[in-house]
Amino acid sequence: MKTITTREDIKVLVTSFYAKIRKDDMLGDIFNSHIPESHWPAHLEKLTDFWETNLFGVARFKGNPSQKHINVDKNMNHSIDQIHFGKWLQLWFETIDELFVGELAIRAKNAARKMATGQYLVMWNHRNKN
């Protein structure tokens, strides 16, 4: 097992993780229906940028994940629930544990836990305004 030390490590993590997501019974349809096949390579690059920014402090990511999650939730008739984020976290932790150890692996888990909670709350709060 190795530690996360490079952008390439993050790319391996992100690519491996989203390969699982896209096949998952609970999450696959959500992701695959919102991201066309031809957009996946660019999306994976953007997610690699996101995690590189979060783990290495390199200012690469530009975007608004909260607005994206609000839009997906709206498109899904506000049916995204905590269980979806729980499954997302389970697969994220599983993928990290299969590939990496060390401080940045732990940081990636902690950041994902905070992000999942934050994104769910953003969606929930947005629902209550409508």
Q: Is the dihedral of CA 104, 107, 113, 118 positive or negative?
A: negative
For the chain, domain boundaries? 2-129
User: Each residue of 36-75: pLDDT tens digit?
Assistant: 999 999 999 999 999 999 999 999 888 888 888 899 889 8
Check whether domain 2-129 has CATH 3.20.20.70, yes or no: no
Residues in contact with 12: Cβ distance below 8 Å, sequence separation at least 6, in sequence order: 99
User: Each residue of 82-125: pLDDT tens digit?
Assistant: 999 999 999 999 999 999 999 999 999 999 999 999 999 999 98
Question: CB of 109 within 8 A of CB of 99?
Answer: no
Nearest to 76 by CA among 28, 13, 48, 34: 34
Where is average pLDDT lowest: 6-10, 41-45, 77-81, 102-106? 77-81
Question: CB of 18 within 8 A of CB of 31?
Answer: yes
Residue 127's pLDDT is: 86
